[in-house]
Amino acid sequence: MSGEGDQPQAIRKLAPGKLVIASHNPGKVREITALLEGHGLDVVSAAELDLPEPEETGTTFVANAELKARAAADLSGLPALADDSGLCVEALGGDPGIFSARWAGESKDFGEAMRRIETKLAAIEGASRTAHFVCALALAWPDGHVEWFEGRVDGTLVSPPRGDRGFGYDPMFVPDGRTETFGEMDQDEKHTISHRADAFRQMVAAVF
């Protein structure tokens, strides 16, 4: 899978026209649509096309983004964009990583997922509280070509979690150079420094 190696040198440009956002999450589709505005794309979601959601069987963020984009491009016959993201805690060997959503369980209880991180850190003497968020983007074409980009934001974990803006692990993450958590921060500000913003900046610079 191309996600296991380096980004290919020759970047393919994305021509104006239809683009499938390979996600069934309306919030994610809205955010991605806004980030792609002004590039002549006619965005349609995987849910609107009634495409099935593939199982995330990859072992990296890029591999999971790629398999979602690949499946949507193959089934729709259109270029497709997918993302995969999560929180990596250094002292936990990068966990929860690609399992970030799954640590919150069926009920999507991120309070519980954050407590699980704290319990694991407490069991490690002198554990570092360094962490980073990752966002991988994969853009797949029906002929098999794929481009991928990986964004990252570094920071420190705080306990107890603070702030009720944002989502997921935001309340426990203070990005480097700031004092507020992503959960306390103005969300427009978060969106300029986040892992997702970093990945999109790279993609926009490369494919348009």
Based on the shown chain and the rule CB under 6 A, indicate whether residue 169 belongs to the binding site for ligand IMP.
yes
> What are the backbone dihedrals phi and psi of residue 71, each rounded to the nearest 5 degrees, phi first?
-60, -45
Q: Which is nearer to ligand IMP, 48 or 55 (CB)?
A: 55
Q: Is the peptide bond before 161 cis (omega within 30 degrees of 0)?
A: no
Pattern 70-99, binding to ligand IMP, x per CB under 6 A?
--------------xxxx------------
CA distance 120 to 88: 13
Q: Which is nearer to ligand IMP, 79 or 161 (CB)?
A: 161
Based on the shown chain and the rule CB under 6 A, indicate whether residue 181 belongs to the binding site for ligand IMP.
no
Site for ligand IMP (CB under 6 A): which residue of 1, 44, 49, 101? 101
CA distance 148 to 159: 34
Of the candidates 83, 84, 95, 170, the residue annotated as catalytic is 84
Q: Please say whether the dihedral angle defined by the alpha carbons of residues 87, 95, 27 and 204, taken in this order, is positive or negative.
A: positive
CB contact set of 162 (below 8 Å; sequence gap of 6+): 171, 172, 180, 181, 183, 184
Site for ligand IMP (CB under 6 A): which residue of 170, 181, 185, 200? 170
Based on the shown chain and the rule CB under 6 A, indicate whether residue 58 belongs to the binding site for ligand IMP.
no
CA distance 53 to 20: 13
Binding range to ligand IMP, per CB under 6 A, among 8-16, 46-54, 122-130, 161-169 = 161-169
Binding range to ligand IMP, per CB under 6 A, among 31-39, 47-55, 154-162, 166-174 = 166-174
Is 186 among the residues known to form the active site? no
Site for ligand IMP (CB under 6 A): which residue of 3, 54, 151, 168? 168
CB of 197 to ligand IMP, least distance (A): 10
Strands of the sheet with 130-140, listed across from one edge: 41-45, 17-21, 80-89, 130-140, 146-157, 173-175
Tokens describing residue 140: 């797949």
Closest CA to 76 of 3, 19, 137: 19
Active-site positions read 84
> What residues make contact with ligand IMP under the rule CB under 6 A?
84-87, 100-101, 133, 166-170, 182, 194
